[in-house]
Structure 1
Amino acid sequence: MRDFRKLNVWEKAHHFTLQVYRITKNFPSDERELARFMSIAAGSASEVEYQLLLACDLNYIQDETYRELNQQVNEVKRMLNSFIQKLTANG
């Protein structure tokens, strides 16, 4: 099995998390916490995205259901990332 640290998706997610921590380290604690919570939520959304793909590949859900839910989770991820960018820009 491949080392997960060598996966491009893991590298990007890790880099994103590091950026959030660096940017928010000087925020007031309530804003810093909010940005971290949003980062965790974005990570969770990515986990959901994978679980949807897995469910589709295992034929637990139909392709159409997968496409609909995947579109929704990607919209949530875009919204979370936009919100995080606004939080970090204000810091």
Structure 2
Amino acid sequence: MRDYKKYEVWQKAHGLTLFVYGSVLPVLPTSEKYDLGSQLKRATYSIALNIVEGAGRNSDADFARFLDMALGSCHETEYAVLLIKDLNYITEDLYRETDNKINEVKAMLIGLLKKIRQ
């Protein structure tokens, strides 16, 4: 069994979740807090949760499957933030900062997946 807290990708995913909760969700209009905001929350924390669940599995194949799901959640988060920006709910600067954090997590997930599958 792996210690998920030792994976830098989990640390970055956790940081992304905290960032989204602290910087993106508070600026959404009240009308979006329970729709788009809720979807963004679930997608974002699903990244870290899938890494955690996969780390608790006994095989590399199982771990890779959960990392794939984390990557899918990363893409979902990426689109939700793009939509939020295009709806003019967040500034371009906040969008870029958030998108950079998402892309960092995506790149790390892809790198870890490649390593595990070799």
TM-score range, shorter chain: 0.5 to 0.7
Normalising by the residue count of structure 1, what TM-score does the alignment of the two structures yield?
0.65
Return the alpha-carbon distance in structure 2 between the equivalents of residues 66 and 80 of structure 1: 21
Q: Which runs of 5+ in 2 are unaligned?
A: 1-57
Q: CA RMSD in A?
A: 0.9
Between structure 1 and structure 2, the one with the greater Rg is 1
Q: What's the counterpart of residue 59 of structure 1?
A: 88
Amino acid paired to 1:56? K
Amino acid paired to 2:59? D
Give the percent of matched residue pairs that are identical in Structure 1 and Structure 2.
Answer: 43
Aligned length: 61
Normalising by the residue count of structure 2, what TM-score does the alignment of the two structures yield?
0.50
Give the alignment partner of residue 77 of structure 2, picking from 31, 44, 48: 48
Q: Which runs of 4+ in 1 moved over 6 A?
A: none
How far residue 85 of structure 1 moved from its aligned partner, in angstroms, is 0.1
Q: Which runs of 5+ in 1 are unaligned?
A: 1-28
**Cα deviation per residue 1:33-78 (whole Å; 9 max; x = unaligned)?**
1000000001110110000100000011111000000000000000
